[in-house]
């Protein structure tokens, strides 16, 4: 058994007014985020994508296994392949594979099987979950809370893209198995989601969505009296 090794952790402790201001500013900054399906082809330096992935990879994870792999795709041929395969799957989805209530739920988003943004955005980052690790001798090493860990990393990725000044869309073309093949990922990795990343197009529009107010997403227990 490995003995735990501890190091001091002394983050600065700002005055409470500053904590309040930061929390509020952060909320307001994140509230301007929208999922974008209309991208500009303007280039974005790869170093920015790498920093965004570094930020996402600071996510907490079960037993600190960091069970994720971000595949960064800028190559036009690969983007074209991903678009073609995603559109083929989505054509089936919209053409009858999705049940009526699902199509109804999607109607306000105006989505369909056409995914030109997968070629237009300068980058596609494909997030894989590492179902298990591989030891040097080839045996399997168990990972823990993989979905939860990768979900948190995905959320931090989305936040990092937005706070950097770029846009993304969490996209799960379904089924996603083609991504393992196209991107030549090993058997222990499974696609989790993909994220086109870039600037929104100059004529970008997004659905007119409203976010739930706090009272609908949070409750206090026990209920405050008075």
At its nearest, how many Å lie between ligand IYR and the CB of residue 121? 14
Please identify which residue in 149, 150, 171, 196 interacts with ligand IYR, judged by CB under 6 A: 171
Handedness of CA 69, 72, 75, 78 (dihedral sign): positive
At its nearest, how many Å lie between ligand IYR and the CB of residue 140? 31
Please identify which residue in 25, 75, 174, 205 interacts with ligand IYR, judged by CB under 6 A: 174
* Cα separation, 92 vs 115, whole angstroms: 14
In the complex with ligand IYR, which residue's Cβ is closer, 107 or 225?
A: 107
Instruction: Look at the block and give the residue holding tokens 């009858």.
Output: 96
* Cα separation, 109 vs 94, whole angstroms: 13
Task: Identify which of 156, 86, 151 has the alpha carbon closest to the alpha carbon of residue 117.
Answer: 86
- Asked if the peptide bond before residue 222 counts as cis, ω within 30 degrees of 0, the response is yes
Is residue 173 at the binding interface for ligand IYR, with CB under 6 A as the rule? yes
Instruction: Look at the block and give the residue holding tokens 């600190």.
Output: 64
Which parts of 90-129 interact with ligand IYR (CB under 6 A)?
Answer: 90, 93, 106, 109, 111
At its nearest, how many Å lie between ligand IYR and the CB of residue 65? 28
At its nearest, how many Å lie between ligand IYR and the CB of residue 124? 14
Q: What distance, in Å, lies between the first and last C-alpha atoms of the chain?
A: 53
Which residues contact ligand IYR (rule: CB under 6 A)? Answer: 90, 93, 106, 109, 111, 171-174
């Amino acid at each position: 058994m490995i003995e735990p090794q501890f190091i001091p952790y002394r983050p600065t402790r700002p005055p409470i007014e500053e904590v309040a201001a930061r929390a509020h500013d952060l909320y307001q900054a994140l509230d301007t985020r929208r999922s974008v399906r209309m991208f500009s082809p303007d280039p974005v330096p790869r170093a920015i994508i790498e920093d965004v992935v570094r930020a996402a990879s600071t996510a907490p994870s079960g037993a600190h296994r960091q069970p994720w792999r971000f595949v960064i795709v800028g190559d036009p041929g690969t983007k074209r392949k991903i678009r073609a395969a995603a559109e083929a799957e989505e054509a089936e989805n919209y053409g009858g594979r999705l049940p009526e209530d699902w199509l109804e739920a999607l109607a306000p988003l105006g989505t369909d099987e056409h995914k030109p943004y997968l070629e237009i955005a300068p980058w596609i980052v494909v997030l894989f979950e590492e179902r298990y690790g591989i030891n040097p001798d080839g045996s399997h090493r168990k990972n823990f809370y993989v979905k939860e860990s990768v979900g948190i990393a995905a959320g931090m990725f989305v936040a990092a893209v937005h706070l950097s000044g770029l846009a993304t869309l969490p996209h799960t073309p379904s089924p996603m198995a083609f991504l393992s093949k196209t991107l030549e990922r090993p058997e222990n990795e499974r696609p989790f989601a993909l994220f086109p990343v870039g600037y929104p197009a100059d004529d970008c529009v997004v659905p007119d969505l409203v976010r739930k107010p706090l009272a609908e997403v949070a409750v206090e227990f026990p209920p405050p009296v008075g």
